[in-house]
Amino acid sequence: MKSFFTLVFIVLSSSSFATEQAEQLFNQLKPSLYQIKLIDKASGEKSSIGSGFQISKDGILATNYHVISSYALHPKKYRIEYLDSKGNTGSLALQSVDVINDLALVKREMDSISSDDVTFFQLAQSAPHKGEKLFSLGNPHDLGMIVVPGTYNGLKKESFNQRIHFTGSINSGMSGGPVVNKQAEVVGINVATSGNSIGFLVPHDKLNSLYQDFLQAPPESIEQQMAAQLTANQNKLMSAILNSPWQAKPLGKQGIIPIIDVPFIRCWGNSNADKADALILTAVANCSLDENTYLSSRFYTGSMEIEFRYMQAKDIGANKFYHLYQQQIAHAGAGNRAGKDNVTQYQCHHDLVMPNNQTINNKIIFCTRAYKKFPDLFDVLYLSASIDKNKQALVSHFTIAGVNQKNALAFTRKFMEAVSWN
Amino acid sequence: MELTKEEFSIKEVVAKELIIEEINRNHKLLHRHKLDKPSINIGRDYHNDIILADPHVCPSHISIDFIDEQWQITDNQTVNGTFVENIKEKKHAANQHIVCDGDVISLGKSQLRLLFSDHTVEATVAFSPFESFINLMRHPLALFISITFFTLIAGSIIYFNKPIEVNFSQLLVPAIGMSLGFALWPAGVALVSHLSKQDARLMAQLGVSFALFNLMWFSDILETIVTFNSSSDTILPMLATFTSVILAFSLFWLNSYIGFHMSSKRRIVVSASITLLLFGGSYLIQYSKQPDFNPRPNYNATIMMPSFLFTTSSNVDEFIDNSSKLFDQTKQEALSE
């Protein structure tokens, strides 16, 4: 009984200690926290909100790229404003962005009088350790600045661009807010949530390198900076994919498909083997890159999807099988969301192709569309349908968003050679 | 002297005969009268040689008399008058008018064409080579075979595209429905020709239309095979589309040949116009439905079973080469905006 009391006491005291600590931290950091608002110039009302925090004496604020993305793409339509803890507002100027890691630097006009007693956040020197208590700060749903305690759970597994897995509830509007350790040092930036207290943060070193690059050479134009980052990122991604082992794996009775052995591409499978009345037995394997780059609410890039489909006719003739097979491949679509302002329409080429391994004969369709703001980047779509077996078919399909010509064609070539019959 | 007298008497006989045609407003023939009297009376009452039922015509409207080797019209001071409508001259009152071969006169709302018996008729229209084809197709057995063939193809297409198990009656009903639907076209044409006082010739219309419909199925299959066997760089599928235009034109030409008497030039113009309306119209409908921006690619997914494969495939290098051109094309498009 005594031990129980002790236990309860310890639990109580530790939780009250945590609350106290959070309160103390919050009061200490409050002056350097800002709500960031995008104001639509024509209507004068805010069109999106997020959080931000000051990281330098001269008024540089860090936030998420997605908070200010509309301004970055349409600077004439919007202006950026901040709201500080005392209720003061003022305008902000966009300085630099990192679209891949969803970061942006904005600058606040500082008047010389107040610049002496200005406070700002310090970036941590090292990454936190697993289980470390962290505090996320931000302004969720425009409800006012809050602090949310949570736990550091390492880097998100299987991600191409690093994200911290934070156990604690992050809500929209907190985007761009800092996450600090007990020493009030920034270890990450709120960026996304997948509900149920699973939050994702951008590691602080990404912010550090963006800030250091900015100090050395501020970007000439945000658009060029974005183009360079997108190009560099797809080069990194595609060379990782092209240089990793591709394992040949059977699909269905006789299909051979490649499984790209990189942790950030994950595969799922399904089949209709349980459906007795199906005319065609179908087995599907889907692989995809589980992340994409946000450019605007109507324009995502950086995604990749791969799909393999094995089909076998059950009680139907070859002619009917091919009619149904054609219906299956007639409606492939883009893997990423993009609109008229961002991309051209797809243009396609199709031909009958037999790869050099001579084991399969395909009808192959290849389509591309170009990015209007970022020349040399394209979305590509590939669809290959085997046409050499009367009652079996193998479909291989992929889409890649935001890739250059060289990488797209290198991937296509390797992919074409990797699909075959057993 | 003797000779001239002979000649004179022959001429008199020839000239005395007058052919009077009752025609409608479109100058289509209603009735024809051949009269050899020196004086012809036309009007609404029953003493006349030609009795017109038109209420705007007077009981004794006009008389046409053979005087001095010529036919002369006399208007009997009628209420609504009599007029000559010649192609060469302006419309004018017909009283005391000397009749020329081919004159059209109007009395009330009726029209009469006056012809001499030496009026030259148009050259005989020879049977076109299609006549034997039409006669073959209108034969009940041939008609039965082509409609059955059509229904079978319709049924098998429905069967091939149904993703679920289907039984025979589930195919038969829509297939027969489709045949009946397609039969509406020749039936409609026959009805129109019947209404325009021409021979309906329903069997011929049905036979020819279904023969052409079957040819269209065939050209469709041919087009699919050509598309399947060719890459997007060739224009062969375009030629196949051209075939279906030709077939549609032939169908409309034959329909009008069977159903309507018209000059061959006019027949070509009419069939070409209907073809243009059909293909141009469906193109316009497709074009208007196309969204301003399509986020999905528009590609040709035609595939067929291996027995329809006749070409050799390209290799990977050729495909990559051709695909790389798309990057330049889309980039140009992106830069031009």
CA nearest neighbour of A399 among A335, A307, A328? A335
Burial of A374 (0-12, 13-18, 19+ CB in 10 A): buried
Question: Which pLDDT score, from 0 to 100, does residue A6 have?
Answer: 43
- B321 lies within 8 A of chain A by CB: no
Q: Do A370 and B333 touch (CB under 8 A)?
A: yes
- A46 forms beta bridges with A39
**Is residue A406 a contact partner of residue A368, using CB atoms and an 8 Å limit?**
no
Six-digit token string for B74: 């006399």
Q: Do B331 and A334 touch (CB under 8 A)?
A: no
Please tell me which residue, A119 or A412, carries the higher pLDDT value: A412
Tens of pLDDT, residues A352-367 = 999 887 789 999 999 9
Six-digit token string for A83: 């709201």
- B301 lies within 8 A of chain A by CB: yes
pTM exceeds 0.95: no
B258-282: buried (b, 16+ CB within 10 Å) or exposed (e) per residue? bbbeeeeeebeebbeebbeeeeeee
Distance CA B172, CA B179 (A): 10
Distance CA B208, CA B128 (A): 15
- A123 lies within 8 A of chain B by CB: no
First to last CA, chain B: 96
CA nearest neighbour of A367 among A355, A351, A354, A356? A351
Distance CA A31, CA A54 (A): 9
Six-digit token string for B265: 């030039």
Quote the mean pLDDT of chain A. 87
Residues of B in contact with A328 (CB under 8 A): none
- B167 lies within 8 A of chain A by CB: no
Q: How far is CA A101 from CA A57, A65, A208, A234, B189, in A?
A: 24, 8, 12, 13, 69
Burial of A144 (0-12, 13-18, 19+ CB in 10 A): exposed
Q: In what order do the strands lie in the sheet with A246-251?
A: A246-251, A255-260, A420-421
Q: Angle of helix B130-137 relative to helix B202-229, nearest 10 degrees? A: 100
Taking 70 as the pLDDT cut, the residues of chain B under it are 1-15, 87
Query: Among partner residues A347, A376, A383, which is closest to B329 by beta-carbon distance?
Result: A347
Give the pLDDT band of residue A115 (cuts 50, 70, 90). low
Distance CA A188, CA A138 (A): 12
Say whether pLDDT at A340 is over 80: yes
CA nearest neighbour of A329 among B306, B240, B304, B315? B304
**Segment 323-342 of chain A within 8 Å of chain B by CB:** 323-327, 329-334, 337-340
Mutant choice from B308, B327, B329, B333 vs A, greatest count of A C-beta within 10 A:
B327
- CA A224, A229, A231 angle in degrees (round to 5)? 95
Q: Do A333 and B335 touch (CB under 8 A)?
A: no
Which DSSP helix (H) or strand (E) runs through B19? strand B18-23
CA B320 to chain centre: 51
**Segment 187-246 of chain B within 8 Å of chain A by CB:** 228-229, 231-233
Distance CA B20, CA B329 (A): 72
- A63 forms beta bridges with A104
**Which region among A171-175, A250-254, A415-419 has the lowest average model confidence (pLDDT)?**
A171-175
Residues of A in contact with B228 (CB under 8 A): 363
- To the nearest whole angstrom, how far is the Cα of B243 from the nearest Cα of chain A? 23
Distance CA A391, CA A315 (A): 10
Question: Which pLDDT score, from 0 to 100, does residue A2 have?
Answer: 45
Averaged pLDDT, A394-400: 95
DSSP B95: T
- B168 forms beta bridges with none
- Judged by DSSP in three states, A194 sits in coil
Alpha helix ranges (H) inside A375-404: none
Say whether pLDDT at A335 is over 90: no
Distance CA B200, CA B187 (A): 9
Q: Name the percent of chain B lying above pLDDT 90.
A: 41
CA nearest neighbour of A357 among B313, B228, B321? B313
- Judged by DSSP in three states, A102 sits in coil
Query: Among partner residues B165, B298, B320, which is closest to A279 by beta-carbon distance?
Result: B165
- Residue B174's φ and ψ, nearest 5 degrees, are -65, -30
Write a three-state SS string for B243-287. HHHHHHHHHHHHHHHHHCCCCHHHHHHHHHHHHHHHHHHHHHHHH
Burial of A323 (0-12, 13-18, 19+ CB in 10 A): buried
Residues of B in contact with A402 (CB under 8 A): none
Q: How far is CA A386 from CA A282, A390, B94, B231, B299, in A?
A: 14, 10, 83, 15, 17
Say whether pLDDT at A9 is over 70: no
Query: Among all chains, which residue has been given the structure tokens 């330049």?
Result: B328
Question: Which pLDDT score, from 0 to 100, does residue B70 have?
Answer: 87
Contacts of B315 (CB under 8 A, 6+ apart): A353, A354, A355, A356
- A368 lies within 8 A of chain B by CB: yes
Contacts of A64 (CB under 8 A, 6+ apart): A50, A102, A103, A104, A175, A176, A189, A190, A191, A202
Within A99-221, strands assigned E span: 103-108, 122-123, 133-138, 146-155, 164-167, 178-180, 185-193, 198-203
**Segment 237-296 of chain A within 8 Å of chain B by CB:** 277, 279
Interstrand relation of B29-35 and B18-23 (parallel, antiparallel or unpaired): antiparallel
Interface ipTM > 0.90: no
Give the pLDDT band of residue A230 (cuts 50, 70, 90). very high
What's the Rg (C-alpha) of chain B? 32
Six-digit token string for B82: 């009599």
Please tell me which residue, A345 or B4, carries the higher pLDDT value: A345
- A351 lies within 8 A of chain B by CB: yes
Alpha helix ranges (H) inside chain B: 2-16, 130-137, 140-161, 168-195, 202-229, 236-259, 264-289, 316-336
Residues of B in contact with A348 (CB under 8 A): 232, 297-300, 326
Q: Do B322 and A351 touch (CB under 8 A)?
A: yes
Look at chain B and count its residues: 337
Query: Among all chains, which residue has been given the structure tokens 């950030």?
Result: A264
Distance CA A25, CA A22 (A): 5
Other Cβ atoms less than 10 A from the Cβ of A339: the count is: 12
Question: Which pLDDT score, from 0 to 100, does residue B145 have?
Answer: 94
Distance CA B245, CA A267 (A): 48
B109-128: buried (b, 16+ CB within 10 Å) or exposed (e) per residue? ebbbbbbbeeeeeeeeeeee
Say whether pLDDT at A320 is over 70: yes
Q: Which residue of A has its CA nearest to B231?
A: A351
Look at chain A and count its residues: 422
Say whether pLDDT at A349 is over 90: yes
Q: Which residue of B has its CA nearest to A408?
A: B324
Q: Angle of helix A318-329 relative to helix B140-161, nearest 10 degrees? A: 50
**Is residue A37 a contact partner of residue A72, using CB atoms and an 8 Å limit?**
no
Give the pLDDT band of residue A18 (cuts 50, 70, 90). low
Question: Which pLDDT score, from 0 to 100, does residue B95 have?
Answer: 85
Residues of B in contact with A403 (CB under 8 A): none
Tens of pLDDT, residues B31-60 = 899 988 888 999 999 999 999 988 999 999
Amino acid identity of A417?
A: E
Question: Which pLDDT score, from 0 to 100, does residue A17 have?
Answer: 57
CA nearest neighbour of A82 among A33, A35, A115? A35
What's the Rg (C-alpha) of chain A? 26
Give the pLDDT band of residue A13 (cuts 50, 70, 90). very low
Please tell me which residue, B110 or A119, carries the higher pLDDT value: B110
Q: Do B305 and A330 touch (CB under 8 A)?
A: no
- Judged by DSSP in three states, A284 sits in strand
- A246 forms beta bridges with A260
Residues of B in contact with A397 (CB under 8 A): none
Q: Do A326 and B233 touch (CB under 8 A)?
A: no
- Residue A270's φ and ψ, nearest 5 degrees, are -160, 160
